[in-house]
Amino acid sequence: MTSKDKNTELKILKAAKEVFIVKGLEGSRMQEIADTAGINKSLLHYYFRTKDNLFDAVFKDAFFSMIPRIAKMFESDISIFNKIEIFVNDYIDMIVQNQYLPNFIFHETNRNPEKVVFLLKDVGLNPMLIIDIFNEEIKKGNIKPIDPKQLIINIVSMCVFPFVAKPVMKGLFFNNNEKEFKIFIEERKKQVTNFIINAISIK
């Protein structure tokens, strides 16, 4: 029985992630992944048998690095406004480190929506927990009455969307200047936090 080399497997996964995340499933070539990993093309098949298998491994990992994080960030014991501030800062920071992640996930989930259902069953992610947190705050009169789902989507939208629309935004607002875009994003953390707080706090 031949056992697989964990080190090689990780090299492959790392390379596959690099390529898939930028070019997507159908835009990626096994050859390019092999080159990126510095190994032979047929080794990919030895370790993962098919392109789809390799892709699934990468996708699952990417999906879980982005989605459950939302829930985790609201689990601390500080005020709701602080929670929002920390979430906005951390989530934007995370995406800055993984610029292609949002587009990758959304493109692939749209191409293959069934996969999401399957993946979500795997992870112990219950959005009800966050929803309850917001409902509690509303009941206590700390924030305005609002559908928590709508509020959560608002928060996440404003953090993630600029990266999804980055090329269009850069062209429209920043003369395609990467540096200006970066400054905008850095400034955005404060702006979004304040925007949300203004929208939900009781005067």
Is 29 among the residues that bind DNA (CB under 7 A)?
Answer: yes
Is the Cα dihedral 110, 73, 101, 197 positive or negative?
Answer: positive
Q: Which is nearer to DNA, 46 or 173 (CB)?
A: 46
Is 106 among the residues that bind DNA (CB under 7 A)?
Answer: no
According to CB under 7 A, which one of 22, 40, 106, 180 is a site residue for DNA?
40
Q: Which is nearer to DNA, 14 or 144 (CB)?
A: 14
Q: Which is nearer to a second copy, 95 or 200 (CB)?
A: 200
- Smallest gap from Cβ 1 to a second copy, in A, equals 38
- Smallest gap from Cβ 42 to DNA, in A, equals 3
Residues forming contacts to DNA in the complex (CB under 7 A) are: 2-5, 8, 28-31, 39-43, 45-47, 49-52
